[in-house]
């Protein structure tokens, strides 16, 4: 493995308190090291900005829902062909790229680790196979547990507590699938949708037929994840996504998790005021206030970007609502016992009141947030827009004049209902950008060797020309180094090694098999013994992160 | 006596994974019984006695066959990869990689059957579900011009119709099929009237008060179906080539999906597409994630292009058959494929002699076991070696 000295760059490494200092970063054997010998390859980074590789804490890049979206919208990719070369596989780009294209394009942006944020455990083999075909980047996936009938039964038996059986079951599921963390999507609501198009509307609505409420699901599974000491806390897509007034539900959910570590996904979609049936308004400032007082909670924003998107979610009722709001295409898929899935291709328009307000609310969350370690960058790719729009989003945060120009192009009635015209003159610094795109997500994921450039960190580094146009700067890294190897130079891919799969592991009592097997037998159409993924070709190469307990 | 099990049976796209296999005096028995599964397992097990490879019909070493196949592929002007009836995910991944390198066209449907043409799902979408969802929730299951008792013998059992049930099984078919014989309601009209029937149903489901049907011989059956539909909070429509194949297939399928979409306004409705070959879903899924498109995809221009129009087979000078319905094999030759394949390589049958992963017709991925391992290479291994050879 090549030793590299990145010489003379301006280093932004907020995890280690480094804020723009000129210095060298040395890499050897896939790690950041204190020094390397004179034989090391020297990358002249004078005049350039050196950051750790990007870490995307919430995206949808692989698995049955992503693939269903590809099948649903072939026309979306016709204009984005990618030719094969001696080095690269061919593919297609667009909002939902093919797998190889996904790995290549994340790498070309300087991202080296990406989380697939919503995998049905039953489909783990499919998710793992797609991730195997997504090169270069390291990958993690979160498994969906918020509408799992077996877990509902365990929660009901325990009266809503995080029983030892439930903890063991959560750990068992992670071990069985290779998942990294636990995701709750509209707890209870997806199950109700699959029954008869129903939903839950408050945390205390009973999930018909199961004797549990969303609040109990949150408390029990959130508690189990916390008590297991998993590296990433429970990752919550709260109830009532997109519904006017849902900020009440979001705040109630945060209070319910009371004091536990938790990550809230795409907070922008959960920050709405207004009344049912009416128009949304922004309640982002309230949520930011709550976050500021509760450092145990983090969020990614789920920024809406004007242009094409594809909404894809395990939250079936949300997708059905989008269908009825004029969605041309709609795909629904119900996965037995565990979850649902809805897909609606979508376009966000600057002239639309709702879309402009969503865009503005996302910017409010970024710009009013006081702690960049708490509010992380995402577009909930591809729900709010493609990950390829990250450079533009970064420019919106770093360049006030550009932002104000863009504000002027959006629906003014919507923008006036945000705080963005109230003298919000904040411009993110490079260290803050490094925090919301690298250090913060890595720390929140419990990836100790990611997101920073201290000795012992993974040698995942991105080097940018320091351009005034931050969009151009972040779209075209000079070098991207992954695992100590230069994978991108001047916008060209040089290597396409496989990335690693990151899984987490928590101990559990094997007796839980006796609890789970009969519950599986009653519900699944797959045998209990065949459910766990054992095939090394799917699960390796893997880096296992052990739980803290 | 049970020799193996439970294992996953790849005799059809249902991929039942609760199968016990016994082998007494050379006669394979499956439990639960299934004629397709028994035939599949017996044939694949018997195939282990065939020669490892052949060149122009003469037994050959595998390495020699690979070398010859690679030469044919390297020299191909317009190569085609097809078959995939028994392919695993691993096989399909290797096949698409090879097609990408060769600039070949990948056809996940059989080239001897009707070219599938343009699918309906990309036009407006669909509502779908796994088997367990339909079993546990659908009060009404409508099987539309399919006979799963013959093609997917355990489907009705797996959808919960194996005993007394308060649920309604309805069959749309003018033929007296085995499935129709088990139904509580058979709706008879000719295939030519399917589009009309679907359109009328769509028009009437939301009417208040309910209107009656005025379409001559459709009147009575549609009225009965409409009544059942209105009474069910959750329902499923099972369909396949009986609806979608041939002229007008896309319009009929679109009409079904539009009906389901309309039904979903007030109740939950899903579809289940009956795919025949067990490898069809796996190959299609892999092709979609690697290329961005499903169905038939052409890599000739250096990148994937979706092919929806019929292509005459004589466009192709070299065809590579991956895991046909009849045998676990790789065959390279001219079209139509047959015993005159210039190169033939026996592969290990996934689910019998090799492990692998396959996607059930509803998309659920399952492990295939190898209760009778043998030394033959998997199709994935052969295709990977071919890729290495053509890259040299």
A86/B contact by beta carbon, under 8 A: no
Confidence class for position B114, pLDDT limits 50, 70, 90? very low
Q: Could you give the CA distance from residue B337 to residue B83 in angstroms, rounded to a whole number?
A: 10
Q: Do A336 and B292 make contact, defined as CB atoms within 8 angstroms?
A: no
For residue A143, the number of C-alpha atoms closer than 13 Å in the C-beta half-sphere is 28
Residue B336 confidence (pLDDT): 66
| pLDDT of residue B179 exceeding 70 | yes
Cβ-based contacts under 8 A for chains A and B = 184
Chosen domain end from B273, B289, B324? B273
Question: B231 with B296, same domain?
Answer: no
Say if CB A333 and CB B131 are below 8 A apart: no
Say which of B124, B127, B268 has its CB closest to residue A196. B268
Asked if omega into B336 is within 30° of 0 (cis), the reply is yes
Q: Could you give the CA distance from residue B131 to residue B366 in angstroms, rounded to a whole number?
A: 14
Residue A533 sits at φ, ψ, to 5 deg, of -90, 120
The answer as to whether B44 is a domain residue is: no
Cα distance from B317 to chain A (closest Cα, Å)? Answer: 22
Residue B326 confidence (pLDDT): 80
Per-residue model confidence as pLDDT tens digits over A124-170:
999 999 999 999 999 999 999 999 999 999 999 999 888 999 999 99
Residue range A48-57: average pLDDT? 98
CA dihedral B215, B218, B224, B226 (to 10 degrees): -60
DSSP strand pairing (B125-129 vs B296-298): unpaired
A78/B contact by beta carbon, under 8 A: yes
Say if CB B209 and CB B126 are below 8 A apart: no
Q: Mutating which of A334, A523, A533 best tests the B interface, going by the most B Cβ atoms within 10 A?
A: A334
Among the listed ranges B25-34, B143-152, B363-372, which one has the minimum average pLDDT value?
A: B25-34
Give Cα separations from A267 to A178, A186, A240, A303, A382 (angstroms): 27, 13, 12, 9, 15
Question: B304 with B227, same domain?
Answer: no
Tell me the percentage of chain A whose pLDDT exceeds 70: 100
- Buried b or exposed e, range A412-428, using 16+ CB within 10 angstroms: eebbebbbbeeebeeeb
Question: B287 with B154, same domain?
Answer: no
A91/B contact by beta carbon, under 8 A: yes
| pLDDT of residue B312 exceeding 80 | no
Confidence class for position B337, pLDDT limits 50, 70, 90? low
Strand, helix or coil for residue B2: coil
Question: B213 with B267, same domain?
Answer: yes
The answer as to whether B320 is a domain residue is: yes
A88/B contact by beta carbon, under 8 A: no
The answer as to whether B224 is a domain residue is: yes
| pLDDT of residue A452 exceeding 90 | yes
Say which of B90, B122, B292 has its CB closest to residue A92. B292
Nearest chain A residue to B101, by CA: A84
Question: B387 with B318, same domain?
Answer: yes
Nearest chain B residue to A536, by CA: B356
Per-residue model confidence as pLDDT tens digits over B212-235:
666 666 778 898 899 999 999 999
Say if CB A291 and CB A262 are below 8 A apart: no
Q: Do A81 and B304 make contact, defined as CB atoms within 8 angstroms?
A: yes
Question: B372 with B305, same domain?
Answer: yes
| pLDDT of residue A277 exceeding 90 | no
User: What residues in B contact A193, CB-CB < 8 Å?
Assistant: 268
Q: Mutating which of A90, A153, A531 best tests the B interface, going by the most B Cβ atoms within 10 A?
A: A90
Q: Do B294 and A70 make contact, defined as CB atoms within 8 angstroms?
A: yes
The answer as to whether B40 is a domain residue is: no
Q: Which domain holds residue B376?
A: 52-109+278-361+368-391
Cα distance from B50 to chain A (closest Cα, Å)? Answer: 29
Residue range B157-165: average pLDDT? 86
Give strand pairing partners of A543: A502
Question: B101 with B186, same domain?
Answer: no
Q: What share of chain B is helix, strand, coil (3-state, %, to 5)?
A: 35, 20, 40
Residue A91 confidence (pLDDT): 98
| 523-542 in chain A: CB under 8 A from chain B | 523-527, 529-530, 533-535, 537-538
Question: B247 with B316, same domain?
Answer: no
Q: Do A92 and B101 make contact, defined as CB atoms within 8 angstroms?
A: no
Q: Do A70 and B288 make contact, defined as CB atoms within 8 angstroms?
A: yes
Q: Could you give the CA distance from residue A278 to residue A50 in angstroms, rounded to a whole number?
A: 47
Cα distance from B258 to chain A (closest Cα, Å)? Answer: 10
Asked if omega into B209 is within 30° of 0 (cis), the reply is yes
Cα distance from B89 to chain A (closest Cα, Å)? Answer: 8
Residue range A372-398: average pLDDT? 98
Question: B267 with B284, same domain?
Answer: no
Residue B108 confidence (pLDDT): 86
Q: Which residue has the higher pLDDT, B24 or A226?
A: A226
Q: How many residues in chain B?
A: 392
Tokens 């009544």 sit on residue: B227
Question: B131 with B264, same domain?
Answer: yes
Vertex A434: Cα angle to A430 and A439 (nearest 5): 155
A82/B contact by beta carbon, under 8 A: yes
The answer as to whether B23 is a domain residue is: no
Mean pLDDT across chain B, nearest whole number?
91
CA dihedral A12, A17, A23, A27 (to 10 degrees): -80
User: What residues in A contact B268, CB-CB < 8 Å?
Assistant: 193-197
Question: B61 with B205, same domain?
Answer: no
Q: Mutating which of B138, B156, B237, B292 best tests the A interface, going by the most A Cβ atoms within 10 A?
A: B292
Question: B249 with B147, same domain?
Answer: yes
Say which of B17, B264, B268 has its CB closest to residue A526. B17
Q: Do B100 and A123 make contact, defined as CB atoms within 8 angstroms?
A: no
Residue range B123-145: average pLDDT? 97
Q: Do A94 and B290 make contact, defined as CB atoms within 8 angstroms?
A: no
Pure H helices in A88-213: 99-108, 124-132, 149-157, 164-177, 189-196
The answer as to whether B33 is a domain residue is: no
User: What residues in A contact B289, CB-CB < 8 Å?
Assistant: 62, 66-67, 70, 98-99, 129-130, 133
Residue A351 confidence (pLDDT): 98
The answer as to whether B92 is a domain residue is: yes
Among A436, A345, A393, residue whose Cα is nearest residue A76: A345
Residue range B290-315: average pLDDT? 87
Q: Do B100 and A70 make contact, defined as CB atoms within 8 angstroms?
A: no
Give Cα separations from B236 to A211, B240, B278 (angstroms): 26, 13, 22
Say if CB B165 and CB B141 are below 8 A apart: no
Q: Mutating which of A74, A80, A125, A327 best tests the B interface, going by the most B Cβ atoms within 10 A?
A: A74
The answer as to whether B84 is a domain residue is: yes
Residue B334 confidence (pLDDT): 82
Residue A486 sits at φ, ψ, to 5 deg, of -75, 115
Q: Mutating which of B4, B6, B125 best tests the A interface, going by the most A Cβ atoms within 10 A?
A: B125
A190/B contact by beta carbon, under 8 A: no
Residue range A210-229: average pLDDT? 97
Residue B144 sits at φ, ψ, to 5 deg, of -100, 100
Mean pLDDT across chain A, nearest whole number?
97
Vertex A143: Cα angle to A243 and A251 (nearest 5): 35
Nearest chain B residue to A85, by CA: B302
Confidence class for position A504, pLDDT limits 50, 70, 90? very high
Confidence class for position B175, pLDDT limits 50, 70, 90? very high
Residue B328 confidence (pLDDT): 87
Q: Do A334 and B130 make contact, defined as CB atoms within 8 angstroms?
A: yes
Residue B4 confidence (pLDDT): 87
Structurally, chain B folds into a number of domains equal to 2
The domain spanning residue B235 has which CATH number?
3.40.228.10
| 104-123 in chain A: CB under 8 A from chain B | 122-123
A533 Cβ contact list (under 8 Å, min separation 6) = A124, A125, A128, A176, A177, A178, A539, B367
Give Cα separations from A302 to A239, A255, A461, B189 (angstroms): 16, 21, 25, 51
Per-residue model confidence as pLDDT tens digits over B38-80:
999 999 988 888 999 999 999 999 999 999 999 999 999 999 9
């Amino acid at each position: 493995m090549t030793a590299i000295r990145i010489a003379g760059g301006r280093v932004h490494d907020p995890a280690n308190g480094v804020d723009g200092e000129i210095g060298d970063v040395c890499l050897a054997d896939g790690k950041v090291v204190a020094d390397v010998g004179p034989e090391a390859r020297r990358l002249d980074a004078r005049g350039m900005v050196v950051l750790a590789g990007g870490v995307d804490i919430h995206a949808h890049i692989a698995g049955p829902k992503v693939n269903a979206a590809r099948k649903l919208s072939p026309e979306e990719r016709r204009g984005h062909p990618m030719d094969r070369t001696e080095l690269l596989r061919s593919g297609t780009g667009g909002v939902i790229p093919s797998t190889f294209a996904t790995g290549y394009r994340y790498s070309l942006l300087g991202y080296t680790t990406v989380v697939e944020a919503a995998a049905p455990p039953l489909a783990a083999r499919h998710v793992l196979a797609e991730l195997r075909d997504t090169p270069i980047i390291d990958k993690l996936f979160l498994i969906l547990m918020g509408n799992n009938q077996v877990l509902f039964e365990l929660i009901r038996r325990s009266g809503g507590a995080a029983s030892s059986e439930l903890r063991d079951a959560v750990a068992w599921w992670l071990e069985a699938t290779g998942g990294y963390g636990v995701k709750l999507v509209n707890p209870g609501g997806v199950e109700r949708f699959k029954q008869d198009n129903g939903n839950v509307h408050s945390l205390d609505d009973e999930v018909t037929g199961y004797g549990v409420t969303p609040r109990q699901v949150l408390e029990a599974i959130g508690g189990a994840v916390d008590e297991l000491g998993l590296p990433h806390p429970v990752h919550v897509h709260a109830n009532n996504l997109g519904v006017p007034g849902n900020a009440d539900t979001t705040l109630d959910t945060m209070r319910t998790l009371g004091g536990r570590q938790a990550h809230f996904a795409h907070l922008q979609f959960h920050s709405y005021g207004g009344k049912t049936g009416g128009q949304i308004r922004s309640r982002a400032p309230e949520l930011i206030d709550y976050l500021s007082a509760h450092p145990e909670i983090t969020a990614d924003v789920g920024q809406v970007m004007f242009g094409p998107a594809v909404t894809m979610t395990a939250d079936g009722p949300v997708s059905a609502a989008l269908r009825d709001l004029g969605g041309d295409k709609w795909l629904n898929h119900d996965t037995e016992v565990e979850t649902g899935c809805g897909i609606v291709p979508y376009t966000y328009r600057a002239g639309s009141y709702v879309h402009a307000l969503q865009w503005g609310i996302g910017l409010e969350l970024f710009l009013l947030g006081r702690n960049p370690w708490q509010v992380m960058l995402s577009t909930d790719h591809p729900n709010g827009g493609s990950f390829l729009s990250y450079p533009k989003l970064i420019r919106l945060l770093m360049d006030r004049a550009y932002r104000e120009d863009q504000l002027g192009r959006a629906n003014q009635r919507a923008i006036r209902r945000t705080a963005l015209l109230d003298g919000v003159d904040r411009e993110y610094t490079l260290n803050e950008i490094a925090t919301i795109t690298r250090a913060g997500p890595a720390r929140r994921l419990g990836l100790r060797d990611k997101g920073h450039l201290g000795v012992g960190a993974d040698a995942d580094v991105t080097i940018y020309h320091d351009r005034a146009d931050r969009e151009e700067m972040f779209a075209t890294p000079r070098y991207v180094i992954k695992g100590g190897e230069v994978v991108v130079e001047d916008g060209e891919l040089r290597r396409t090694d496989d990335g690693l799969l990151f899984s987490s592991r928590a101990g559990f009592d094997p007796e839980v098999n006796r609890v789970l097997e009969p519950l599986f037998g009653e519900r699944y159409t797959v045998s209990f013994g065949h459910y766990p993924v054992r095939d090394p070709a799917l699960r390796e190469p893997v880096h296992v992160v052990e739980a803290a307990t | 006596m049970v020799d193996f099990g439970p294992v996953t049976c790849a005799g059809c796209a249902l991929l039942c994974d609760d199968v016990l296999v016994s082998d007494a005096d050379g006669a394979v028995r499956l439990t639960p019984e299934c004629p397709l599964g028994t035939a599949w397992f017996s044939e694949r097990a018997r195939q282990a006695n065939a020669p490892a490879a052949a060149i122009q019909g003469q037994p050959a070493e595998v390495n020699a066959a690979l070398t010859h196949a690679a030469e044919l592929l390297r020299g191909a002007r317009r190569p085609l990869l097809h078959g995939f009836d028994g392919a695993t995910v691993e096989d399909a991944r290797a096949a698409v990689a090879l097609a990408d390198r060769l600039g070949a066209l990948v056809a996940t449907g059989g080239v001897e059957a009707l070219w599938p043409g343009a699918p309906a799902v990309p036009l407006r979408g669909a509502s779908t579900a796994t088997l367990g969802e339909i079993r546990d929730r659908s009060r009404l299951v409508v099987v539309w011009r399919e006979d799963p008792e013959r093609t997917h013998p355990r489907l009705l059992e797996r959808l919960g119709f194996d005993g007394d049930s308060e649920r309604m099984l309805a069959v749309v078919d003018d033929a007296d099929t085995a499935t129709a014989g088990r139904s509580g309601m058979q709706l008879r009209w000719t295939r030519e009237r399917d589009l009309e029937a679907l359109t009328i149903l769509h028009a009437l489901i939301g009417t208040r008060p309910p209107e009656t049907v005025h379409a001559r011989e459709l009147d009575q059956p549609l009225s009965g179906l409409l009544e059942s539909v209105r009474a069910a909070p959750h329902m499923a429509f099972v369909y396949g080539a009986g609806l979608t194949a041939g002229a007008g297939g896309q319009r009929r399928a679109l009409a079904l999906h539009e009906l389901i979409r309309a039904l979903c306004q007030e109740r939950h409705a899903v579809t289940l597409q009956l795919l025949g070959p067990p490898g069809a879903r796996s190959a299609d899924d892999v092709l979609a994630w690697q290329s961005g498109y499903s169905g038939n995809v052409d890599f000739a221009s250096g990148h994937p292009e979706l092919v929806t129009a019929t292509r005459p087979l004589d466009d192709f000078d070299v065809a590579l058959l991956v895991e046909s319905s009849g045998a676990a094999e790789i065959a390279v030759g001219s079209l139509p494929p047959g015993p005159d394949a210039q190169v033939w390589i026996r592969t290990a049958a996934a689910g019998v002699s090799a492990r692998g992963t396959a996607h059930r017709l509803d998309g659920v991925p399952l492990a295939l076991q190898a209760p009778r391992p043998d030394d033959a290479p998997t199709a994935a291994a052969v295709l990977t070696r071919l890729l290495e050879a053509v890259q040299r």
